Amino acid sequence: MSTMLETGRAIIRGERDTFGVARLVGLVFRELAPGRAVFSLQVDDRHHNPMGTLHGGVYADLADAAMGWAYAATLADGEAFTTVEMKVNFLRAVRDGLLTATATVVKAGATLAYVECDVTDDQGRLVAKAASTCLKLARR
């Protein structure tokens, strides 16, 4: 069994297929280090809500992927996790362009971790801010 850090880095290098929701939504895994992950998404009309802007669930998918991998990269072999809570503040409407989600583990304890994520547009403007709480588990 390999660590999630090793798995994530193999995905980034193209040695492993990415995970399902990344393929479905179009998330691109850019960087991974223990406690930090970066994802991007090229937004187009397939990601829009009925008002023609990025659907809130897509912001959440992007931020959740980054936050989850940032925390997963801190885990030892044989450990896994689940997200027990997540919050997203939508700060700017997006219609198209490249978004980047940068997540950082703020605090990782023995069983719980708190992670934050900034989502920025291609002009560096903050478009969303997210936070999550993760629970460490034994991997099956």
Residues 8 and 111: their CA atoms lie apart, in Å, by: 22
Residue partners of 104: CB distance under 8 A and separation at least 6? 35, 36, 70, 115, 116, 117
Per residue in 81-128, pLDDT tens?
A: 999 999 999 999 999 999 999 999 999 999 999 999 999 999 999 999
Set out the domains of the chain in order of their start, with CATH numbers.
4-138 (3.10.129.10)
Residue partners of 34: CB distance under 8 A and separation at least 6? 5, 73, 74
What pTM was estimated for this model as a whole? Answer: 0.96
Q: What's residue 130's pLDDT?
A: 98
Per residue in 38-87, pLDDT tens?
A: 999 999 999 999 999 999 999 999 999 999 999 999 999 999 999 999 99
Q: Is the pLDDT of residue 139 over 90?
A: no
